């Protein structure tokens, strides 16, 4: 069995999950050759790295100088505006790359990465975890095979409350631009990206492809006056083949979370997640055919929490490409860029409650749960509903 050498880059945010995974599970025939992190307190935060004598470097250059034989897999969990250059650097050092999502900050950059990946003969996999989940892959297999007939329309709703601590954790959260780079950070590009991206993934013609989009329109609002970008979005996109995709998301919410809910309509039936047509709450993907056939994808073992890590290790070993390619990341990135053209509507202070809880501050738009849920049910943008003109 080929021993897979791994480099972890950026471990003090989401990337800490990879350290914990490796700490808790002795993954056979792998080694963490090193960590690259700009912070000074890595060993204090992760004593396991010291215990296992895993060296920490300040940047990629010094890591590869000290390790001229390189590594087989680099895992990037760094700020999104660093991905493009870091991916290129690692490919040039002959390493495969698993990068956290989004793959980079523009469709143009992603297309260049696709070309570069081809030229270097190493893979770039993207960390949209739903794409690696075995129930979703089984559902996609059934969609691609035509089992449910033609896709007619897809929609989803997923909102999570996020407060000042979330936005203050780094220099780029909630920002439109940082150091001249458009990061377009928002619930749509970051914490609630997955439910939109997975719709494009499920509509792709092949298992490792997402459906391209031909149009994206939407409405964006800012409830939290402290941030630069929007924190509420309603999006209507169309795939190249004309399937409408509706998506609703927000951070300026009173409830800790709303959804995820999803409904994917096909000519032969509908796939539900979160809530079925009879109002019953469900935590799995369930297909209900017009002829009464029911398929519960909850019966399928989803795989591991960080299946993307395990799949990337296997892909190195067997010389294949993990399922979430750069192409799979492009339609979501395209939608993020298109939505960035929309004017951000500031929500007037009288409709926003400022709420303090557990040393955090939340901007909560009144009635937002009802607004987003109504739009989701009626399949329209917020401005189409007269009662919500307060926004």
Ligand X SMILES: NC(=O)c1ccc[n+]([C@@H]2O[C@H](COP(=O)([O-])OP(=O)(O)OC[C@H]3O[C@@H](n4cnc5c(N)ncnc54)[C@H](O)[C@@H]3O)[C@@H](O)[C@H]2O)c1
Footprint on this chain of ligand X (rule: CB under 6 A): 9-15, 36-39, 77-80, 82, 100-101, 127, 129, 169-170, 190
In the complex, what is the shortest distance from the CB of residue 187 to ligand X, in angstroms, rounded to a whole number? Answer: 11
Give whichever of 82 and 243 is closer to ligand X, judged by the CB atom.
Answer: 82
Q: How many helices (H) and strands (E) does the chain have?
A: 12, 19
| Tokens 């399949």, located at residue | 379
Secondary structure (3-state) at 62: helix
Give whichever of 339 and 365 is closer to ligand X, judged by the CB atom.
Answer: 339
In the complex, what is the shortest distance from the CB of residue 312 to ligand X, in angstroms, rounded to a whole number? Answer: 13
Give whichever of 19 and 235 is closer to ligand X, judged by the CB atom.
Answer: 19
Torsion of CA 275, 279, 280, 282, to 10 degrees: 0
Give the span between the Cα atoms of 320 and 359, in whole angstroms: 47
Give whichever of 198 and 202 is closer to ligand X, judged by the CB atom.
Answer: 198
Give whichever of 165 and 205 is closer to ligand X, judged by the CB atom.
Answer: 165
Judge contact between 19 and 331, C-beta under 8 A: no
In the complex, what is the shortest distance from the CB of residue 80 to ligand X, in angstroms, rounded to a whole number? Answer: 5
Give whichever of 114 and 191 is closer to ligand X, judged by the CB atom.
Answer: 191
| Tokens 């390493």, located at residue | 95
In the complex, what is the shortest distance from the CB of residue 233 to ligand X, in angstroms, rounded to a whole number? Answer: 16
Give whichever of 80 and 137 is closer to ligand X, judged by the CB atom.
Answer: 80
CA atoms within 13 A on the CB side of 35: 27
In the complex, what is the shortest distance from the CB of residue 168 to ligand X, in angstroms, rounded to a whole number? Answer: 10
Give whichever of 100 and 135 is closer to ligand X, judged by the CB atom.
Answer: 100
Q: Which long-range contacts (CB under 8 A, 24 or more apart) does 114-123 make?
A: 114/326, 114/327, 116/87, 116/88, 116/91, 117/91, 117/326, 120/91, 120/92, 120/94, 122/91, 122/94, 122/95, 122/96, 122/97, 123/96, 123/97, 123/315, 123/321, 123/322
* Cα angle: 63, vertex 127, 322; to 5 degrees: 90
Judge contact between 356 and 233, C-beta under 8 A: no
In the complex, what is the shortest distance from the CB of residue 190 to ligand X, in angstroms, rounded to a whole number? Answer: 5
For residue 208, is it left (φ>0), alpha (ψ between -120 and 50) or beta? alpha
Residue nearest to ligand X (CB): 13
Phi, then psi, of 138 in degrees rounded to 5: -65, -40
Give the span between the Cα atoms of 318 and 15, in whole angstroms: 25
Judge contact between 368 and 254, C-beta under 8 A: yes
Structure-token pair, residue 161: 């409350």
In the complex, what is the shortest distance from the CB of residue 98 to ligand X, in angstroms, rounded to a whole number? Answer: 11
Give whichever of 39 and 349 is closer to ligand X, judged by the CB atom.
Answer: 39
In the complex, what is the shortest distance from the CB of residue 76 to ligand X, in angstroms, rounded to a whole number? Answer: 8
In the complex, what is the shortest distance from the CB of residue 244 to ligand X, in angstroms, rounded to a whole number? Answer: 26
Give the span between the Cα atoms of 238 and 255, in whole angstroms: 30
């Amino acid at each position: 069995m080929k021993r897979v050498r791994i480099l972890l880059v950026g471990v003090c945010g989401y990337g800490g999950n990879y350290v914990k995974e490796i700490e808790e599970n002795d993954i056979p025939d792998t080694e963490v050759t090193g960590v690259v992190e700009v912070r000074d307190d890595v060993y204090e935060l992760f004593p396991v790295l010291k215990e296992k004598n895993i060296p920490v470097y300040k940047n990629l250059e010094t890591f590869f100088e000290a390790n001229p034989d390189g590594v087989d897999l680099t895992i990037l969990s760094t700020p999104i505006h660093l991905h493009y250059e870091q991916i290129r650097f690692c490919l040039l050092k002959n390493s495969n790359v698993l990068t956290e999502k989004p793959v980079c900050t523009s469709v143009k950059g992603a297309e260049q990465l696709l070309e570069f990946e081809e030229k270097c003969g190493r893979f770039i996999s993207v960390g949209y975890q739903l794409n690696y989940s075995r129930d979703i892959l089984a559902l996609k297999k059934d969609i691609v095979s035509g089992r449910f007939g033609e896709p007619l329309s897809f929609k989803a709703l997923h909102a999570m409350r996020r407060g000042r601590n979330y936005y203050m954790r780094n220099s780029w959260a909630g920002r439109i631009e940082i150091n001249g780079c458009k990061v377009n950070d928002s619930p749509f590009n970051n914490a609630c990206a997955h439910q939109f991206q997975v719709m494009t993934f499920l509509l792709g013609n092949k298992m490792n492809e997402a459906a391209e989009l031909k149009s994206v329109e939407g409405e964006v609002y800012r409830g939290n006056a402290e941030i630069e970008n929007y924190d509420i979005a309603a999006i209507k996109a169309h795939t190249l083949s004309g399937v409408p995709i509706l998506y609703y998301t927000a951070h300026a919410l009173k409830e800790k979370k709303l959804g995820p809910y999803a409904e994917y309509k096909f000519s032969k039936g509908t796939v539900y997640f979160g809530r079925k047509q009879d109002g019953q709450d469900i935590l799995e993907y369930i297909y209900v055919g017009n002829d009464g056939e029911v398929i519960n994808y909850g019966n399928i073992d989803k795989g591991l929490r960080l299946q993307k890590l395990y799949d990337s290790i296997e892909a190195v070993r067997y010389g294949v490409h993990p399922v979430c390619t750069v192409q799979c990341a492009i339609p979501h990135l395209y939608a993020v860029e298109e939505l960035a053209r929309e004017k951000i509507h500031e929500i007037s202070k009288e409709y926003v409650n400022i709420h303090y809880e557990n040393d955090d501050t939340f901007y909560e738009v009144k009635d937002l749960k009802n607004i987003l849920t109504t739009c989701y049910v009626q399949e329209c943008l917020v401005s189409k509903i007269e009662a919500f003109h307060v926004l």
